[in-house]
Amino acid sequence: MGLRYEFVPGWERLPEGMSHLDAPGIGTDSDDRVYVLGRQSSHVFVYEADGTFVEAWGESGQWVTTHGLTVGPDNHLYLTDTGGHAVEKFTRDGRYIASFSTRGIASETGYDKAHAEQYDRSASIRRAAGPYNLPCAVAVREDGHVFVADGYGNAAVHHFAPDGRNVGSWGGPGTGPGEFNLPHGIAVDARGRVLVADRENERIQVFAEDGTFIEAWTDIQRPTQVRVGRDDLVVVSELHLKAGMRSFKSGLATEDHPSRVSVLDGNGTVLARWGQASGEDATAPGNFTAPHDIAVDSRGDIYVAEVSYAEFGRLGLAGPDCHTVQKFRRV
């Protein structure tokens, strides 16, 4: 593993009186500005690469449940509102541009949200359907084509033309090639391949743009997001698997596997990987509570956004000052 990354302590300098207990989304633009999507406050927080705060935008009640943020090659922001069944496009300063499909209508998949465990909720999906049922994340190709991972209540990827027209979808519930159990993250690489973070199947699936299955990378743990950055390196945020949880890949977990970050080459080979050991304090700076999104800038530096309150804070396992955005510098 020839790559090295170092933790940058105290990177985010959020003004007094502002907060985001969860940071479900993060992205970087062509100027290496960083955009952090909050949840409880429902704002987009904007920073310079050194962590200097620039501005925040977004109105109270504008989104139901913020989930994902992608900065496209056009420097526009693509936001997913899971609870609102919506994917929307904005300028960098927050002006609404367009929606991809109709907001607020859940497609029929058989999904049953009443189950307490994510394993059972994913298993309740009977069929893939069109946009959307609790969508997760967006990838944007250089030519403006948009791909959406529609995961919590669906098991599909949707492909949109630049004008917003849905030109195709693929997927289905299951563990076979081309099937999904929570497609939670998505990216497009330099070869035009679509990489899907198939979270509860614990793999990255690789597709052609028409949905033809190419291969799967399985040295992965509950991937929440996948991005392609400098040198075509693939960065992946990976969520913990706690003892007692069930995995579609390996069955019942008998020990804790903490959250982590991995860097892969374009063939899925791990080049760098880090995270705390089992039993170490996840809330300590530089460790991970619940990585939910990841971004990489032009220098190859990595930013990790976490839903620390949802996974730790609300259970009394982390205080309100627990990290939700961390930077790791490529060295």
Q: Which domains does the chain have, with CATH numbers?
A: 5-330 (2.120.10.30)
* DSSP-derived secondary structure letter, 93: T
Integer Cα distance of 44 and 62 in angstroms: 11
What pLDDT was estimated at residue 250? 87
Q: Which of 124-138, 247-261, 306-320 has the lowest mean pLDDT?
A: 306-320
- For residue 140, the model assigns a pLDDT of 98
What is the layout of strands, in order, in the sheet containing 156-160? Answer: 137-140, 146-150, 156-160, 166-171
Residue located via tokens 């058989």: 110
Residue 308: pLDDT band with limits 50, 70, 90: very high
| 61 confidence band (pLDDT: 50, 70, 90) | confident
Let me know if 37 is exposed, middle or buried by CB neighbors in 10 A (0-12, 13-18, 19+).
buried
What number of other Cβ atoms are within 10 A of residue 212's Cβ?
A: 11
pLDDT per residue as tens digits for the range 177-190? 999 999 999 999 99
What average pLDDT is seen over the chain?
Answer: 95
CB 71 within 8 A of CB 28: yes
pTM of the model: 0.97
Min mean pLDDT across 92-101, 247-256, 292-301, 309-318 is at 309-318
Chain centroid, CA 113 distance in Å: 20
**pLDDT at 319 > cutoff 90:** no
Average pLDDT over residues 61-86: 96
In angstroms, the Cα distances linking 66 to 136, 151, 207, 264 are: 9, 14, 27, 28
pLDDT of residue 317: 87
Mean pLDDT score, 108-137 = 96
End-to-end, the C-alpha distance of the chain in Å comes to: 13
**Which whole number is the average pLDDT over 309-314?**
90
DSSP secondary structure string for all residues of 180-247: BS-EEEEEE-TTSPEEEEEGGGTEEEEE-TT--EEEEE-S-SSEEEEEE-GGG-EEEEE--B-TT-EE
Map tokens 């609870």 to a residue: 83
Q: Assess whether the previous peptide bond of 132 is cis (omega < 30° from 0).
A: yes
- For residue 179, CA distances in Å to 156, 191, 207, 213 come to 8, 22, 11, 10
Q: How confident is the model at residue 275 (pLDDT cuts 50, 70, 90)?
A: very high
Examine the pLDDT at 235 and tell me if it is beyond 80. Answer: yes
CA distance 108 to 232: 37
